[in-house]
Amino acid sequence: MCLLVHGLKIEEAQEDLVFYKVAHASEMYDGEIKLVSLYRKFPIKLGKTYIEEGDFELDGNRINGGCFHLYKHKYDAQRVAGIQGGYDSRWMCRCKAQSFLVVLKAIIPKGTKFVSGEFCDRPSIATKSVRYELFEKISEPCKV
């Protein structure tokens, strides 16, 4: 996911902030749930705080890597996940177990640096630190 920005204005969270991320969840045969980000397939563990070191990497008017990309609004995350007239995400069910999409609550800790922009015309951010919590399951499990 790359973030389209109009100038690199780095902000700092004055308090814990809540954003949203769509993730692919796979229920393995042993009952374990594995979460990965949709675009980079980054493994996600709920409750863990992730930190990216270094500066924001600006490539023209885009931030591509070196940070975590999140949606500002729950509605946009839900839409991308396919429940509000967005994309049909069933093609992502590729594992050998039950697969489904989830929207994660993404908490940006106080003091974290972030940049606002857009992804697919939806307000989004890129941040250097995030902690994920389960917000809601989006699609029904599918067998592949």
- Over residues 15-32, the pLDDT tens digits come to 999 999 988 887 766 777
pLDDT at 47 over 90: yes
143 confidence band (pLDDT: 50, 70, 90): very low
Whether 143 maps to a domain, the answer reads no
Q: How many domains does the chain have?
A: 1
Residue 141 is predicted with a pLDDT of 46
pLDDT 10s digits, 82-130: 653 333 444 344 444 567 788 899 999 999 999 999 987 889 999 999 9
Tell me the C-alpha to C-alpha distance, in Å, between residue 14 and each of 8, 17, 96, 109.
19, 8, 43, 9
CA-based diameter of the chain, in Å?
Answer: 47
With a CB cutoff of 8 Å and minimum separation 6, the contacts of 65 are 57
Cα-based torsion angle of the residue sequence 45, 49, 50, 56 in order, rounded to the nearest 10 degrees: 140
Per-residue tokens: 80? 């991308």
Average pLDDT, the chain: 79
Type and span of the H or E element at 78: helix 74-81
Question: Domain for residue 21, yes or no?
Answer: yes
Res 135 pLDDT > 80: no
State which residues form the domain around 77.
Answer: 3-137
The single-letter DSSP state of residue 102 is: E
- Model confidence band, residue 67 (pLDDT cutoffs 50, 70, 90): confident
Question: Given this model, what pLDDT does residue 44 score?
Answer: 93
Domain assignment present for residue 50? The answer is yes
Q: Is residue 142 part of a domain?
A: no
Instruction: Output the pTM of the full model.
Output: 0.80
Nearest one of 25, 9, 10 to 135, comparing CA atoms: 25
CA dist., res. 120 & res. 79, Å (int): 11
- Let me know if residue 48 belongs to a domain: yes
The answer to whether residue 64 scores a pLDDT higher than 80 is no
User: Residue 119: inside a domain, yes or no?
Assistant: yes
Per the model's pLDDT, the better-predicted residue between 64 and 18 turns out to be 18
Dihedral sign for Cα 105, 44, 38, 63, please: positive
